[in-house]
Structure 1
Amino acid sequence: MTVLAEKRMPRVVIAPAIQRHVPTPDTTLPAATVADALAGVFETRPALRAYLLDDQGALRRHVAVFVDGQAVRDRRRLSDALGPESEIYVVQALSGG
C-alpha cells in the first residue's frame, strides 16, 4: 500500500476584529509570498482588499501581518516568502494616542 504525502500549503487567518467588517474564513491555499496569499483570499472576499491595502497595494497603517509569528518586513510589496506550512495572521494594529 502506498501512502501519499499530504500536500501542505500556507494558511491565512484573519483576526475577529477585522472579520466584523468583512467575514473571512481561515483559508489554506498555494502561495509563495504574502502578496500571493492575500491575492488568493481577495478572490473570494474582494471587499477585504480595500480594508487591508491602500490604493498602492501596501498594507494600511491599521493592519499588521505576521508570518510564523514574525511581523512582515515588506509592508509595501508584501514580498515576504512563505513556506509550505506557514501561518499568516492578519490583525488590526494597535495605535497609541
Structure 2
Amino acid sequence: MARIEFTPQLHRFVDTPVVDTPATVLRQGLDAAFAINPRLRGYILDDQGHLRVNVVIFIDGRRVRDLRGLTDPLGPESRVHVLQALSGG
C-alpha cells in the first residue's frame, strides 16, 4: 500500500496521520487522510480542491505535476511526503 506522511510543521496546527492506502492516484490517497482528520483538508487544499500554493507534495522523491486534479499515480509501494513550502529570508 502507498504510504502518505505529513511534515512535522503541519502537525503543529492539526493532527497529521500516517496513512497506508490502496489508492492508485494522489487525490484518493489524500481523501483517505482527510477521512481520518477532516480539518487537515483545509491545510492542504484550497476552496476549489486544488493544492495550496504553500504546500508541496513528493511521490517517491518526485514533485507532483498535477496541482489541480491531483491525478499523479501511486504505486503499491509509493511513499508520499506532504510538506509546507518554506519562504522568507
TM-score normalised by L of structure 1: 0.87
Which amino acid is 1:84 matched to?
P
Choose which of 4, 10, 14 in structure 1 pairs with 2:2. 10
Percent of aligned pairs sharing the same letter: 49
- What's the CA shift for 1:30? 1.0
Greater Rg by CA: 1
SS of the aligned residue for 2:39 comes to: helix
**C-alpha distance in 2, partners of 1:54/1:88?**
19
- What's the CA shift for 1:25? 2.3
Aligned length: 89
- Root-mean-square deviation (Å): 1.0
1:53 alignment partner in structure 2: 45
- Asked whether the equivalents of residues 58 and 81 of structure 2 are also in contact (C-alpha less than 8 Å), the reply is yes
Cα deviation 1:1-27 (Å, max 9, x = unaligned): xxxxxxxx0000011001111112211
Which amino acid is 1:74 matched to?
D
Which amino acid is 1:78 matched to?
L
Instruction: Give the gaps of 5 or more residues in structure 1.
Output: 1-8
SS of the aligned residue for 2:74 comes to: coil
Richer in strand (by share): 2
Asked if residue 71 in structure 1 is aligned to residue 63 in structure 2, the reply is yes
**C-alpha distance in 2, partners of 1:96/1:77?**
28
